[in-house]
Amino acid sequence: MMRALIIGIAGLGMLLPSVANAGLKIAVVNIQRAVSESKEGKKAEKELQRLKGQLEATLNRKLKEFYEREKKLREAWSVLKESDRRKRAEDSRRKLEALQKEYMGAERELMQRKTKVMLQITRKLNTVIAKVAKRDKYDYIFANAAVLWAPRHVDLTNEVIRLYNKGK
């Protein structure tokens, strides 16, 4: 993947002098910045942070309860029968594994939601970018992630964000 990106960038670098002579109109857009700075992206980020806070609070509460039970178990350990020790140790291990699974599930849920939102916004941004390309007669608009350097005047990110937020 990285090799293909480097080859593509190198090819673009060799192409640019001839592009300038051919009179092609080229621009770049920072998709990630456009997503995160759009009104919808900011709203989605707030919602994800709210959800993350809720999940963390729930997990922290459960973890605190687990550690309190563990503390009581350690205090009573010396007076327990060997069979009770094994049973309670196994119970603690299962509860800790369940907490770990719940934590991983919460992380996965957050990542899936973030990915879904990012894809939705990116699809809408692509529509805006296509409209800008047609309106301003651009031959090529590249994602800024594929370009090592570009002069500011060819960066359309602010214009794309503005139009996206307007709903056009």
Residue-by-residue DSSP string for 138-151 = -SEEEEGGG-S---
Amino acid making up residue 142: F
The DSSP secondary-structure symbol of 80 reads: S
pTM reported for the whole predicted model: 0.70
Residue 144 backbone phi and psi in degrees, to 5: -60, -20
**pLDDT at residue 156 is higher than 50:** yes
**pLDDT at residue 64 is higher than 90:** yes
**pLDDT at residue 165 is higher than 70:** yes
Average the pLDDT over 36-48 and give the result: 96
**pLDDT at residue 22 is higher than 90:** no
What's the chain's length in residues? 168
- Beta bridge partners, 140, equal 26
CA dihedral 143, 149, 152, 154 (to 10 degrees): -50
**pLDDT at residue 147 is higher than 90:** no
Residue 27 backbone phi and psi in degrees, to 5: -145, 170
**pLDDT at residue 5 is higher than 70:** no
Amino acid making up residue 50: R
Q: What percent of the chain has pLDDT over 70?
A: 86
